[in-house]
Structure 1
Amino acid sequence: MVDRVVIALAFSLISLAFLVAAYASPYWIESFQRADSVFIKAGIWEFCFNDFTFWKDFNGNRYKGCWYTFKKAMKPIWYWLNPHWLILVQVLSSLAILFYGITIIFIVLAVCHVFSENRMEMIIFGSSIVEFVIVIMQIISLTLYGIKRGGRGWLPRPDQNFLSWAYGLYFVSAIFTLAGAITLFKAGMKIRKKLKEDFPNRRHV
């Protein structure tokens, strides 16, 4: 049982590492070099331009280099750069990292035998459910970004942009999250089976 929990912990740590790397990276989408576009690359928090001006910005600000989305200079184009679907991706990704951090703490405590067997069953099943929820959030984020990134109302020349390696890291993270969730569920079932054998009159929820 502990072996499966350790394996699930390894899956979760790998997944979290990929998730954080993708979360912080500006390489979710890039422009082909041959396109010579004013847009260079972007993540979910950072956008890189090559002397870009926004037609609705009457101040005529020019953007060159990489810019954090909440930087003061980005205020004139913030609503254009952050449509509702991207804000949802940002929120879901942030919650995924938060939930993951809390879940991993409980899994580590379980591996260290901090909990009783009765409590262990609840912790492992609970962690499994949380990781399944994280998978759902990641799938929603991947789907939204993958579909909406090509919209002509967002980044310049969408036909010359492509999904980059950070988006791939996010996808790999989702796979490891699913593997961790399934492994935790199997570990929980094994604990439940052992408790039934040791305490046949015990009620299970």
Structure 2
Amino acid sequence: MPVDEWIYYGRTLKLAILLNLVTVLVIILAFSTPYWLASTPDDLLPDPTFTNLGLWEVCLNGFHDQRHQYEVKFYGCKHILLEEYDIIRNELQPGFMVVTQVFYTFSFCGMLIALLFILMFMLCINDYYRVSVLRWLAIDLVVSGGLGAIAVIVFGANGDGRDYMPEWEHNQLEGEFSSHEKGGALQASKTGKIGTVIQLLVGGVLPFWLAKPSISNRYTGQAMDEKDIADILPDTNVDRERTLTGKWALGLFALVFCFTLVAFCTSSWIAGDPKFYGTKVEEVGLWVHCFRSLPDYNDPLHQRYFAGCRWLFNPFTEGYGDIRSFLAPREELAVSFFVATQFFYTINFIGILLALILILMYLLCIQDHHRVTCLRWTGIDLIIAAVLGTLALLIFGTMADGEEFMPDWQHNYLSWSFGLAFVGVFFSYVDGILFIVEARIMQRKEIAQEMRFPMEQRV
């Protein structure tokens, strides 16, 4: 349905779309701004050490950890994951805060997926698939609303308690947590943010109602048989039913995507043996390195050490860029394997993302005479990605735990992220073959159908 048919949309559909757009804006503001919790100055506390805090940014004014041996004070608004906050990490990110960040991030991602569904519905979806898109849009919004509700309840119950920030009697849930506005000033309320979650839930209920066949037919003017009504996914009537091979291919791809994504993002390709005291390496991933106490070999005074986990291209830690040639060596052929591993596995990851796009096209908006081609290219893409992933694993597996890479190499071993990458690559081969077999089956069905109806012509 093209976007220029907006005037023909029903009131419920227009309300659902507008409500979702408003929800996206509210969620983005709440996700990115530092006003979930704020301290209110008064006569008893004119200059609080804690000013305000969001999911990813904290503003401090002389805050310090009293349990630290040497008092270090913090000022200004900075990202909550900066290295300088490591000594007060337990105060800034206790368990409930991490839970809030995780669940609200998933809720935020769900809203972005919903926005993509809305754009597909308005710009490029065929009439046959509109009911399925609305239904999956509603499921996505309800799940996002549930995750957001968990995050809000956890933070609302613990954020302004005595166990979190100092001077807790003066702390209150602020603007991005609440959605109330009174007298021009944002007011604190433990239940205010629930308004945003209600928007998510209502935004999910409306598309569910619109996805009912009787409602959908009001806009299309087309009748739908019972099997079309019962199906959630498209392509499942008698003439388009996927075989068992296709169902296995789709299910296996979900595992491939999860394994590849986790392996690509996590930092446990190599791990140091925790049984040995004094080892310098804790974990090494493709993009994140974790050290217990790694000396800076460029420091002649031997006064600089690196501890904790950092992104490989971290621009904030002094001296970290100077040892990047040690972390990801490029000059010597014998140790440039790490850059080769990053390159091949990144291309493998991009290939998996391309396969995901092809599968979504196949499920949602592909035309009948392109289905076989889409399936075949999905299989070819997965096999090529698997070959590149195999190269990355072979290179890394043969050289990563050798004496030419990380210190204390005798105590380093390949860890679980490498194992997930291996499983993902293996299943990529299998999944690519399944998609090619499914394409072959679909092609034979199309040939058989053309033989049954020789007078039928494609337009």
Q: What TM-score, normalized by structure 1, do the two folds share?
A: 0.88
Q: 2: CA distance between counterparts of 1:158 and 1:132?
A: 33
2:242 is the counterpart of 1:2: yes
RMSD of aligned alpha carbons? 2.0
Counterparts of 1:144-163 in structure 2 under 5 Å?
Answer: 144-163=395-414
Partner Cα distance (2:410, 2:291) in 1: 17
Alignment-derived partner of residue 352 in structure 2: 100
Contact 1:100 1:131 in 2 (8 A): yes
For residues 343 and 300 of structure 2, the distance between their equivalents in structure 1, rounded to whole angstroms, comes to 30
Secondary structure at 2:275 match in 1:
helix
Q: Does 1:20 align with 2:261?
A: yes
Partner amino acid for 1:31? G
Deviation at 1:113, TM superposition (A): 6.4
Q: How many residues align?
A: 200
Give the aligned residue type for 1:137: L
Q: Deviations over 1:165-205 (max 9, x none)?
A: 1111111111221221111011011122223334469xxxx
1:52-131 aligned within 5 A: 52-58=294-300, 60=302, 61-72=304-315, 73=317, 74-83=320-329, 84-112=336-364, 114-116=366-368, 118-131=369-382
CA distance in 1, matches of 2:402, 2:326: 12
Worse-matched range after superposition: 163-172 or 67-76? 67-76
Alignment match of 1:43 (pick from 256, 276, 285): 285
CA distance in 2, matches of 1:123, 1:59: 61
Percent identity between the two aligned chains:
18
Structure 1 Cα separation of the partners of residues 248 and 275 of structure 2: 44
- In structure 1, the gaps of 5 or more residues are none
Cα distance in 1 between the residues matched to 2:349 and 2:390: 14
| 1:132 to 2:383 alignment | yes
- Whether contact under 8 Å (2:270, 2:401) holds in the other structure is no
| 2:394 is the alignment partner of 1:143 | yes
Of stretches 125-134 and 192-201 in structure 1, the one that deviates more from structure 2 is 192-201
- Which sections of structure 2, spanning at least 5 residues, go unmatched? 1-240, 330-335, 455-459
Structure 1 residues 126 and 44: CA distance shift in structure 2, 3 A: same
Matched, 1:11 2:252: yes
Task: Tell me if the contact between 1:41 and 1:48 (Cα under 8 Å) persists in the aligned partners.
Answer: yes
Aligned residue in 2 for 1:166: 417
Higher RCO, Cα 8 Å, sep 6+: 1
Call closer, same or farther: CA 1:186–1:151 in 2, change over 3 Å. Answer: same
